[in-house]
């Protein structure tokens, strides 16, 4: 695999991993909609960990969710998936740094390095997959409640935290896929074959000069 391509894929995975860390604490995963409201007195926004509100004077109040088991199932699943994405990305970053060709950590065995990079690519891919499932599932529930005319509660719109999560997932999936598909996964290095001369090889003691001259003289006068 081209070393430059390895570094580019590693940077994509790293940026995706950083953006996961930005998306998780972001408070604006969903924001209360202003659609159909003439007078707006407050705005409500939530993420995976807390619910916040701001009034017309600019005062913010946040309240953490008191119970994990009392949350909706998709919020609990999104939490678990985002934490798993951070774990996969952290391990994938370390593994890929060890396996890239410009690193000396794994020695000079390019086959071994290629396999290590392939493992790192799989971990980056899992990071992007977990992030994509988490933010997409969360966004699906937002849109489902928004377009439901019989929903009695507050309707929300998609916040900036989900867009950060989608960008992170795309970068991680791209970098992980390229590392997994383009890495060198040879089974063994090519070994040089021993030289074998063509024809028959005769072994024995070389004749002396007197014997060679005698046989030459006898053949010459026949």
> Which helix H or strand E contains 94, and what residues bound it?
helix 73-99
pLDDT at 187: 37
Q: What is the pLDDT of residues 7-40, one digit of tens each?
A: 888 999 999 999 999 999 999 999 988 776 656 6
Residue with the larger pLDDT of the pair 184 and 134: 134
Report the C-alpha dihedral over residues 67, 69, 74, 77, rounded to 10 degrees.
100
What is the three-class DSSP state of 18?
Answer: helix
Strand order in the sheet with 30-32: 60-64, 50-55, 42-46, 30-32, 156-158
Residues 88-98, mean pLDDT to the nearest whole number: 92
The answer, yes or no, to whether residue 121 has pLDDT greater than 70, is yes
Residues 132-156, mean pLDDT to the nearest whole number: 90
Asked whether the CA dihedral 25, 140, 87, 112 is positive or negative, the reply is negative
Percent of the chain clearing pLDDT 90 (strictly above): 42
Question: Are the CB atoms for 17 and 164 separated by under 8 Å?
Answer: no
What is the spatial distance between Cα 98 and Cα 96, in angstroms, rounded to a whole number? Answer: 5
Percent of the chain clearing pLDDT 70 (strictly above): 77
Q: What is the pLDDT of residues 175-201, one digit of tens each?
A: 999 888 876 544 344 444 444 555 555
Q: Whole-model pTM?
A: 0.76
The answer, yes or no, to whether residue 116 has pLDDT greater than 50, is yes
> Which helix H or strand E contains 179, and what residues bound it?
helix 160-182
Report helix angle 3-23 to 110-146, nearest 10.
Answer: 30
Question: Are the CB atoms for 128 and 134 separated by under 8 Å?
Answer: no
Asked whether the CA dihedral 99, 100, 105, 109 is positive or negative, the reply is positive
Residue with the larger pLDDT of the pair 49 and 203: 49
pLDDT at 206: 54
Checking 61-68 for CB contacts under 8 A at 24+ apart, the result is 62/27
What is the C-alpha radius of gyration for the chain, rounded to an integer number of angstroms?
Answer: 34
pLDDT at 164: 96
Residues 73-84, mean pLDDT to the nearest whole number: 94
Confidence of residue 148 (pLDDT cuts 50, 70, 90): confident
């Amino acid at each position: 695999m081209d070393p430059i391509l390895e570094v580019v894929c590693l940077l994509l995975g790293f940026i995706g991993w950083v953006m996961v860390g930005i998306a998780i604490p972001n408070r604006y995963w969903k924001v209360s909609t202003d659609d159909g409201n003439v007078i707006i007195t407050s705005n409500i926004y939530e993420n995976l960990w807390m619910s916040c509100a701001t009034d017309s004077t600019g005062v913010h109040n946040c309240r953490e969710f008191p119970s994990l088991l009392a949350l909706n199932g998709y919020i609990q699943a999104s939490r678990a998936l985002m934490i798993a994405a951070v774990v996969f990305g952290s391990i994938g970053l370390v593994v890929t740094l060890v396996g890239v060709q410009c690193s000396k950590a794994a020695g000079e065995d390019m086959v071994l390095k290629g396999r290590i990079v392939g493992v790192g690519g799989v971990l980056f891919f899992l990071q992007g997959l977990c992030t994509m499932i988490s933010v997409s599932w969360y966004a699906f529930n937002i849109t489902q409640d928004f377009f439901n005319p019989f929903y009695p509660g507050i309707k929300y719109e998609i916040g900036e935290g989900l867009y950060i999560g989608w960008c992170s997932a795309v970068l991680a999936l791209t970098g992980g896929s390229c590392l997994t598909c383009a890495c060198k996964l040879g089974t063994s290095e090519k070994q040089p074959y021993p030289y074998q001369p063509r024809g028959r090889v005769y072994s024995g003691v070389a004749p002396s000069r007197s014997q060679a001259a005698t046989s030459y003289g006898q053949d010459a006068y026949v």
